[in-house]
């Protein structure tokens, strides 16, 4: 009879002992997550206040980030949005740290993978932000220079340069995130090379007369401006 | 500041000269073709008008490769009796050297100020090295108000063709006058007289590692003198004829250099210009006479073409800077026929003020911001040329005066928007 009872109670005891030894880990996870959530909330509030104080929203307006957000159907203020992104990032980190406190091998592997991937996410985000600002800066510079040179297709040229730069940045970001790097590289090479070849062929075939007219007009204007004796602006 | 390093041989020359009453500075860069004439005119001016003064000519060179410095060293008036009734008593020393530091006219001037300070000069003059119209009288007109009139700064006053100096006429002069309340007609003339005291004050300013060293030294000197309460005058020098500008220097770069220097000074002297309303004449010296000037032909069609391209391509940026109301007005101007083209003075004034405010607020990269002004500036210039085509010089000047009055009467708009 005792043997029979042992057969029933031994697994239960074993489960209880396992749960007893697991309980501190569970409590540790709950404490970590609670503290993490509180910390994340505090950091979000402080970050938003700091960003507001340094006029981050105005900077985003100037750099075109606000426009980009609106295009992506994000209608919050840039400072609040960045605060929310940082908040959820901290929550994710808290969750991962909390799960690692459980000391379960499968979960530990998942957490290790998450943290080893984080640097790539950060560098990809950095490439995306800097690249976007840089693409806007370069295309605006090209636009102004082209307008001041009297180039008729200034806007088109600036937009084309901006699109190519963003394409390049997106390819770099995807490559950084290791998302199908071979496919991305091949797609980028095909698209980028294709655009260049298409432009060359279309200009070569269809634009001979236009090129001729442009060169003639340009040299004519140069002659005109030289012979007219330009005014002394200073 | 006092850490400007002059070469050992220059230090040696300074020690040998020990003291000077007048220092004449000539910054140069590849001006061998014209600098000889400038040096001779200065020597004759010093000999004729300041025969007993100890004078030094300082050529601060930016690394010329065409023997500019050798030309300065070898240029002298052998026989003063051919020019002057009285022979000069004191010899004129010459120092010619390549300046060190950031390449630019500002660094060249800094070295000249240093030498003036080391020699304890009472008066200094700086003249451009590409001048073809300089005469000995320029030295008198720029130095005498300092030595005998007690002035600290003497700006030039030239007769120029009504279509020349358009950046000065449509932006720098009206803006500087409205801001600081002094009617200095050529604030970026390039040829100035100033006291030794002011040269020392310039040297005490911490700007010599900034853009002032590269460009914008002319407006910086004028504004610094006015805004700090130095006594300012201007002297009529006649015509200003100089070598054609380097064709590589394009309009947008010129505009950027001049306008960014002017706007930058608005930041530093905001407390000085905000309370000022109206303007007053500054004392003028010299005998004004009419000067025959070369005909200037201008292609206004191309200017207006660039303006219309600007409306088409820069509309987002302009709307941001000018606001929807004024941008709408600019768009309307784009529809006018070339021969009927006019640019309202009030609109141009608000545009300049709006650009100054955008520059102050860092709304855009500064170079982009100011270079985007080029099509608007060309439209304003074209409108002026069309309006002034049949005007004589005095009527054209009256048109500029009207613009200045508009800048002065609209200043409240700038002050209230400047936060």
Tens digits of residue pLDDT in B66-103: 888 888 888 877 666 655 656 666 678 889 889 888 88
Rounded CA separation A15/A212 (Å): 88
pLDDT of residue B277: 95
Question: What are the tens digits of pLDDT across the range B207-216?
Answer: 888 888 888 8
Question: What are the tens digits of pLDDT across the range B360-407?
Answer: 988 788 999 999 999 999 999 999 999 988 888 889 999 999 999 999
pLDDT of residue B321: 93
Rounded CA separation B178/B170 (Å): 12
Chain A residues with CB-CB distance to B372 below 8 A: 144, 147
Residue B412 has pLDDT above 90, yes or no: yes
Region B35-53: what's the mean pLDDT? 91
Consecutive 10-residue averages of pLDDT for chain A (234 residues):
81 86 88 94 95 88 75 79 92 90 84 86 89 89 92 89 89 86 79 79 70 60 45 70
Region B203-224: what's the mean pLDDT? 90
Region B53-73: what's the mean pLDDT? 89
To test the contact with chain A by mutation, choose from B313, B366, B368 the residue with the greatest count of A C-beta atoms within 10 A, namely B313
pLDDT of residue B212: 85
Report yes or no for ipTM above 0.85: no
Split at pLDDT 50, 70, 90, the class of B346 is very high
Mark yes or no for CB contact B365/A140 under 8 Å.
yes
Assess B314–A contact: CB distance below 8 Å, yes or no: yes
Mark yes or no for CB contact B299/A228 under 8 Å.
yes
Residue B255 has pLDDT above 90, yes or no: yes
Split at pLDDT 50, 70, 90, the class of B244 is low
Mark yes or no for CB contact B297/A221 under 8 Å.
no
Assess B376–A contact: CB distance below 8 Å, yes or no: no
Region B31-47: what's the mean pLDDT? 91
**Dihedrals phi, psi of B275, to nearest 5 degrees:** -80, -10
Residue of B nearest to A134 (CA): B365
Q: How many inter-chain contacts (A to B, CB under 8 Å) are there?
A: 90
Contact call for residues B52 and B20 (beta carbons, < 8 A) = no
Question: What are the tens digits of pLDDT across the range B175-185?
Answer: 999 999 999 99
Q: Tokens 């005469």: give the residue.
A: B135
Mark yes or no for CB contact A233/B251 under 8 Å.
yes
C-alpha count within 13 angstroms, C-beta hemisphere, residue B56 = 28
For A170-178, which contacts have Cβ atoms below 8 Å and span 24 or more sequence positions?
Answer: A170/A128, A172/A127, A172/A131, A173/A124, A173/A127, A173/A128, A173/A131, A176/A120, A176/A123, A176/A124, A176/A127, A177/A120, A177/A121, A177/A124, A178/A120
Helices (H), ranges, B50-134: 68-74, 105-118
Assess A148–B contact: CB distance below 8 Å, yes or no: yes
Region B18-43: what's the mean pLDDT? 91
Assess B83–A contact: CB distance below 8 Å, yes or no: no
**Dihedrals phi, psi of B165, to nearest 5 degrees:** 65, 40
Mark yes or no for CB contact B306/A228 under 8 Å.
no
pLDDT of residue A214: 63
Rank A54-63, A185-194, B41-50, B157-166 by mean pLDDT and report only the highest.
B41-50
Contact call for residues B307 and B378 (beta carbons, < 8 A) = yes
- CA-based end-to-end distance of chain A: 112
Residue of A nearest to B318 (CA): A144
Mark yes or no for CB contact A152/B165 under 8 Å.
no
Assess B309–A contact: CB distance below 8 Å, yes or no: yes
Split at pLDDT 50, 70, 90, the class of B124 is very high
Buried b (16+ CB within 10 A) or exposed e, B85-100: eeebeeebbbbbbbbe
Average pLDDT, chain B: 89
Nearest to A143 among B250, B313, B362 (CB): B313
Among B residues 252-271, those touching chain A with beta carbons less than 8 Å apart: 252, 254-255, 258
- Which has more pLDDT, A87 or B161? A87
pLDDT of residue B398: 94
Assess A163–B contact: CB distance below 8 Å, yes or no: no
A119 to chain B, closest Cα gap in Å: 31
Assess B84–A contact: CB distance below 8 Å, yes or no: no
pLDDT of residue B304: 93
């Amino acid at each position: 009879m005792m043997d029979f009872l042992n057969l029933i109670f031994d697994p239960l005891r074993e489960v209880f002992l396992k749960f007893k030894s697991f309980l501190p880990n569970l409590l540790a996870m709950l404490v970590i997550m609670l503290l993490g959530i509180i910390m994340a909330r505090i950091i979000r509030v402080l970050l938003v206040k700091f960003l507001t104080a340094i006029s981050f929203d105005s900077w985003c307006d100037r750099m075109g980030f606000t426009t980009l957000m609106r295009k992506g159907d994000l209608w919050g203020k840039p400072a609040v949005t960045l605060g929310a992104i940082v908040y959820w990032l901290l929550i994710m980190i808290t969750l991962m740290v909390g799960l690692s406190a459980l000391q379960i091998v499968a979960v530990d592997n998942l957490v290790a993978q998450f943290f080893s991937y984080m640097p790539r996410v950060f560098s990809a985000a950095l490439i995306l932000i800097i690249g976007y600002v840089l693409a806007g800066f370069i295309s605006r510079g090209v636009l102004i220079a082209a307008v001041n040179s009297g180039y008729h297709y200034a806007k088109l040229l600036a937009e084309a340069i901006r699109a190519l730069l963003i394409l390049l940045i997106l390819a770099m970001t995807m490559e950084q995130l290791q998302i199908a790097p071979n496919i991305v590289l091949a797609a980028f090479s095909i698209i980028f090379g294709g655009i260049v070849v298409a432009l060359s062929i279309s200009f070569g075939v269809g634009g001979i007369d236009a090129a001729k007219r442009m060169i003639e007009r340009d040299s004519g204007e140069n002659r005109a401006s030289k012979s007219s004796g330009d005014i002394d602006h200073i | 500041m006092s850490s400007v390093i002059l070469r050992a041989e220059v230090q040696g020359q300074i020690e040998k000269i020990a003291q000077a009453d007048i220092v004449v500075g000539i910054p140069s860069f590849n001006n061998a073709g014209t600098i000889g004439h400038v040096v001779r005119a200065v020597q004759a001016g010093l000999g004729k008008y300041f025969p007993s003064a100890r004078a030094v000519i300082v050529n601060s060179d930016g690394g010329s490769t065409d023997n500019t410095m050798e030309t300065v060293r070898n240029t002298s008036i052998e026989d003063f009796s051919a020019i002057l009734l009285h022979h000069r008593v004191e010899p004129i020393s010459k120092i010619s050297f390549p300046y060190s530091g950031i390449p630019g006219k500002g660094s060249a001037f800094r070295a000249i100020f240093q030498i003036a300070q080391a020699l304890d000069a009472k008066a200094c003059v700086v003249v451009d090295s590409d001048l073809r119209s300089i005469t000995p009288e320029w030295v008198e007109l720029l130095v005498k108000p300092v030595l005998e009139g007690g002035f600290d700064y003497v700006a030039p006053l030239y007769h120029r063709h009504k279509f020349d100096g358009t950046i000065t006429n449509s932006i720098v002069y009206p803006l500087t006058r409205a801001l600081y309340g002094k009617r200095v007609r050529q604030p970026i003339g390039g040829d100035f007289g100033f006291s030794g005291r002011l040269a020392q004050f310039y040297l005490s300013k911490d700007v010599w590692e900034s853009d002032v060293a590269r460009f914008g030294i002319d407006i910086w000197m004028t504004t610094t003198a006015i805004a700090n309460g130095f006594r300012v005058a201007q002297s009529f020098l006649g015509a200003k004829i100089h070598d054609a500008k380097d064709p590589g220097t394009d309009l947008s770069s010129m505009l950027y250099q001049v306008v960014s220097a002017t706007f930058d000074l608005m930041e530093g002297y905001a407390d000085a210009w905000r309370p000022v309303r109206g303007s007053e004449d500054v004392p003028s010296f010299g005998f004004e006479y009419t000067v025959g000037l070369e005909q200037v032909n201008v292609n206004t069609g191309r200017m207006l073409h660039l303006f219309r391209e600007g409306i088409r391509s820069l509309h987002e940026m302009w709307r941001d800077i000018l606001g929807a109301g004024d941008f709408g007005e600019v768009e309307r101007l784009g529809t006018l026929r070339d021969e009927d083209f006019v640019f309202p003075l009030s609109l141009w004034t608000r545009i300049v003020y709006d650009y100054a405010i955008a520059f102050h607020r860092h709304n855009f990269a500064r170079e982009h911001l100011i270079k985007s002004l080029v099509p608007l500036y060309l439209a304003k210039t074209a409108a002026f040329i069309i309006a002034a085509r049949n005007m004589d010089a005095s009527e054209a000047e009256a048109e500029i005066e009207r613009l200045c009055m508009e800048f002065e009467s609209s200043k409240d708009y700038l002050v209230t928007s400047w936060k």
